Structure 1
């Protein structure tokens, strides 16, 4: 029997991390603090400000050359004149390990020529594996990892990514994304762990522990960077880097828990939200960057900007009259390091501001202390460049199989009419649709290049969906017609003709790779051409198996209603084609569950934890009615839930409620089941959510086997943020829901805030 001990739903006040933990941490790190303090005492103002400066690799690289080369003169200027503390990114596309070794070695040799010999910390976006190193292990994107509901998979992906990042001689990973994927319109939803705060915070903590291990300074782990603090994922328009309007109570209830949990998990660094909230750019918000982040969450690591975001305080947000003012505002608000990234203006302005008394030296020393501490913790002073021979598992079969498992457990079976799946391998299959024969729709953005637009070149040795099906059942049993591009019809007549000759149609729809503002859309509907292809194929009378590879839940209602079965594959990574084929033909039993609510209509984007007012009523026929609800996911077997039991009918302060439920495999094949526990508060002073996920576990069951799953719930797990931004648990009746089972209990506390009744 496996047990889950649930942490609080909203650990958002001053005591998020206990004083005892802080005291212990301070004692452990005292030796490093002493080294940092001694080094800071030797530093000039310019050397300190240099440590706070981060430039992109283009700044120190040659231009107009076929292959990437560092420029010795530019690098010398960056290190010895500006004392740059950090470099990031790639120029062009992914490098080989050998080239990364040359790049990092050259940079650290240059740093060794500076007066104090402080190593540079190099950062990279390794968000689903080492995305900028050739031959690395690419995992499914975060949204797909969330669909596994398996913390072990997240942790293992973190471990392998850290190993291969260090094998690329890079110690700093700008991951994980801890933003809440609430808005289906937002182009970066695939980089999140879904729409639920509990799922995001627990999966995020698991991958952070995988990245950083027990000793972040060893040669196999990296510093994690939780991002994008805070509220980045919920712009009002749904478009990237546009204004958000999020009340403080709402922010603390839904968006802050993942970052609070990441601090508890020990994340070393943090990247700041590029947008603005309630008219205030987060890079200028002392309230969020100092009062909340440092004062409440007790985060003591490095806060780095996102791309050019101090400059944008002037250029885009228009809250700073000059670029110099922008630097003053951001640093005084709490920014430690500026991802400038193309020039040294930040350095020049900040030196001037300190000399003018507009930025206190104490603020500079604070920021530099944090930066240098992370460098010491990573072991960069002793080992600025790794040993190439220390990483024999890089790109290994063992690591590839971990990615295969992640993809297998992520892919979600949403519909399976008359058990049309799994398909027989003797069938004649038409494979069609714009995502059928491209790696771009399996890998998504941040794959070899920023936009993932060269995945077909760099992942040419991996199987597209078409190639995987051909390998699975033989090319003679597979025909292929593209039918439609992403936004236009192609040879639809040929596709229909081929469908008439086939036993079944595998229709692959979805999106091409994108990220950030490049992925902004005006319409959540899939382009009409893809829907028209589905409609034309359905008229043949042959069963249509709809396979969706997409970074967000695009509206597919008119196509989906025509399918016999529907698979949501998300962006499953380099092994995704094989995983899809294995599920289609029954070599793998699907076990993924939706980590988001899949909308039926473009203007019906409610999350599953909606308010009761959103459910509709007799006078409103347009209430909550998604195409598929959060947590939906079928299997080739069946599971029954029985004997939901709670340990007591009343829960009091400082007590724990034990919840058990029996889960049985009532089908004919072995399968995995994600057991999801929800709670619902019946009445509260803030309108309660309809239900909230409080725990989950994933189990494997053989046919006929029963397992008892156990969970623990405390009053903190039932808490919410009230109208004065305090986290409280109020007395009253609660329901627990697991599968189709329901039980009720009462929480009783003399100290609780009474529920409101009556009208305002």
Structure 2
């Protein structure tokens, strides 16, 4: 007779209960981890092994074929682990799935996950711009469109869980993973995260988005990878937990991934308060919590809070973890943990119930295989969205009037990033991610700025010189795990100090009308680049000798337009006052060259606005616009602050505020603030502006930031035209966290500030919130809205 769990007509909970009752302890343990395999279409699968094994603490294991007979919860990155054509990779994954479904005792399918942050991480998938580009668009609908296309590529290859988005709130741009963030404002990060999750998961939630890195990972000590985080709960909740809360409650995110660090001596992977009390009991997360790669092993390998792998497994799973990724380094000791009474089978059953529930919800039992003929990578629509994101994120910081370039001037295109496809990509894009494994893949789908400018201006109008190197040879770095290098040699920096190419670049600049110099970063994990995971910095000076190159080019007297790409902002050491233009392009992906050229030549407007401040110097770090009054020091520190603040960006025209009206000076504590703003395009070209609304709590029972973003709206107007923007901000959004952990809104006065950046405030007014103190309910109002009426 057919078992109940195979009957698709039965409710999911009945199917789960029936299957769970049939499982042996070993079969249950197998669902609580993944295998990281190099799959083969002929079934000769093997385990991946490289330098990261040292990081995770791997040892010899029983033969893979024997372990697969009892099943497995997930397969780690079947297409993203090595260079394989998508169709071949899907065929190999289907072969493994067929074995699990048809040749194991219970036929439980595996769930395949991949990285999806900047597009599906596999060969030939669309290479999307970075999260900083997503944020810089200030366009949640566009971000949702991008994530929808990424989700489509993922589904077509059999991926049912994407390890994205990143909800870390940038606090210190020296941190290598800044490129993975949406920016430094927690509410904006939450808005963008919700859009991304909704797009990736779709209405059916048939691909699980994974919120990471939970939580506070970006406020690490010294902005160093994995370093401890020093935070009290109030700031943790208001700044770092807020985006996760929004994405769980508003977007129904299907998965969460804890982070590597510890907060106040408690590692994230064993923090029951964060993983269970908050996520499940307070917020109602109903999906699965998965480990960051090797994070469970770090409990004994690095943090020293357990004696061995069995105890680490028990700590993590008791705290709230469901699945160990990427392998079974600790989960394979669960039988021992049960025997030692470190974890109970009741807890194991609770966890496996959640895992099986998600597999049934995803339809894996009914459709375990992927159609090899339906793989959908690099579609016209997907490439278009990638280009739209790239173009909309171009952020113009300086312009002396030279931009957009008129006609077809003779242009010298110079710089180490001008014709390097990898320079336009993030660390979690497929070609860059391979470097850490000493593999290389073609990035032929990438259009560089040089190629795009040659296309638009003609080969005879464009000269090129590299000018200098950033890293001459892209190889895997030599990270030392953990951070202590005692008794172990550290690799010297791979960044080039060779200045021999600069004279040629100067000669090329002198024989042309305009110089476009492309500088910035190279993404690469664990010191294989200058930015990215494990590639942190101690300086905000451009890596290598790029500053010397810039100085030599500016000294020619030719107008110099700087195009900066990469995963963090850098200072030009005072040259900002001498360059003709400065365009921040971040890591704009495969269509980035077109986006850069479109803005330089005036085919597109620079619509991006900064989502991370550009600090005056590394000495200002950590710096973010929503700091507290005393952050600047007493007396005020001259090195503190930002030349280009959060929200800043120039366009082709100028907007101005012509009126601000508060509709009701007194607002009940359970109501909403309504503010009308009249803006006009005072320039001679059609253009757009992002109107931003900030709030400051004038007197509160706890210290509050100098200002906080609570609403924004892009408005596009013809020359001379004006529009009335009506903002509706729920008073709920004026809350903060008390020492007892509760979010509250206190009655009192709040400054409302409207401008086109956090520093350039056009007008302000004050609203008085009246009533009694309010404790926020579970589903408090987290978003504002704006209605635009153009005259």
Question: TM-score of the superposition, structure 1-length normalised?
Answer: 0.89
1:414 is matched with which residue? Answer: 397
1:496 is matched with which residue? Answer: 506
Distance 2:243 2:188 in 1: 9
Distance 2:174 2:72 in 1: 38
Which of 15, 18, 29 in structure 2 is aligned with 1:38? 18
Cα shift readout 1:221-246 (whole Å, capped 9, x = no counterpart): x1111111111111112111111111
Give matches, 1:105-504, under 5 Å: 105-112=94-101, 113-134=103-124, 136-217=125-206, 222-264=207-249, 265-341=251-327, 344-390=328-374, 394-417=377-400, 419-449=401-431, 451=433, 453=435, 457-486=441-470, 487-488=496-497, 489-504=499-514
1:564 maps onto 2:552 in alignment: no
Give matches, 1:570-589, under 5 Å: 570-589=586-605
Distance 2:434 2:509 in 1: 31
Q: 1:109 to 1:446 in 2, by over 3 A?
A: same
1:612 is matched with which residue? Answer: 629
Paired residues of 1:440 and 1:456 also in contact (CA < 8 A):
no
**Deviation for aligned residue 1:715:** 1.8
1:630 is matched with which residue? Answer: 646
**Deviation for aligned residue 1:449:** 4.0
Which of 515, 519, 524 in structure 2 is aligned with 1:514? 524
**Deviation for aligned residue 1:63:** 7.8
Cα shift readout 1:54-113 (whole Å, capped 9, x = no counterpart): 121249734899xxxxxxx966334214x2111112575443221222122112101111
After superposing the two structures, state which structure 1 stretch, 125-134 or 167-176, moved more: 125-134
2:565 is matched with which residue? Answer: 549
Q: 1:376 to 1:64 in 2, by over 3 A?
A: closer
Distance 2:10 2:539 in 1: 54
Distance 1:447 1:662 in 2: 42
Paired residues of 2:118 and 2:129 also in contact (CA < 8 A):
yes
1:15 is matched with which residue? Answer: none
Q: Which has the higher contact order (CA 8 A, sep 6+)?
A: 1
Distance 1:659 1:133 in 2: 49
Distance 1:506 1:377 in 2: 52
Paired residues of 1:54 and 1:87 also in contact (CA < 8 A):
yes
For residue 359 of structure 1, give the secondary structure of its aligned residue in structure 2. coil
Which of 758, 763, 770 in structure 2 is aligned with 1:748? 770
**Deviation for aligned residue 1:464:** 0.9
Cα shift readout 1:22-73 (whole Å, capped 9, x = no counterpart): xxxxxxx9922222122112111111110001121249734899xxxxxxx9
Cα shift readout 1:460-505 (whole Å, capped 9, x = no counterpart): 2431111111111011111111111123324111111111111111
**Deviation for aligned residue 1:557:** 2.9
**Deviation for aligned residue 1:273:** 0.4
For residue 743 of structure 1, give the secondary structure of its aligned residue in structure 2. strand
Question: TM-score of the superposition, structure 2-length normalised?
Answer: 0.86
**Deviation for aligned residue 1:399:** 1.6
Q: 1:172 to 1:133 in 2, by over 3 A?
A: farther
2:748 is matched with which residue? Answer: 732
Paired residues of 1:61 and 1:74 also in contact (CA < 8 A):
no
Q: 1:616 to 1:316 in 2, by over 3 A?
A: closer
Gaps of 5+ in 1: 1-28, 66-72, 754-760
Q: 1:30 to 1:117 in 2, by over 3 A?
A: closer
Paired residues of 2:422 and 2:431 also in contact (CA < 8 A):
no
For residue 586 of structure 2, give the secondary structure of its aligned residue in structure 1. coil
Cα shift readout 1:590-632 (whole Å, capped 9, x = no counterpart): 1100001111111112210111123466x43527431210000
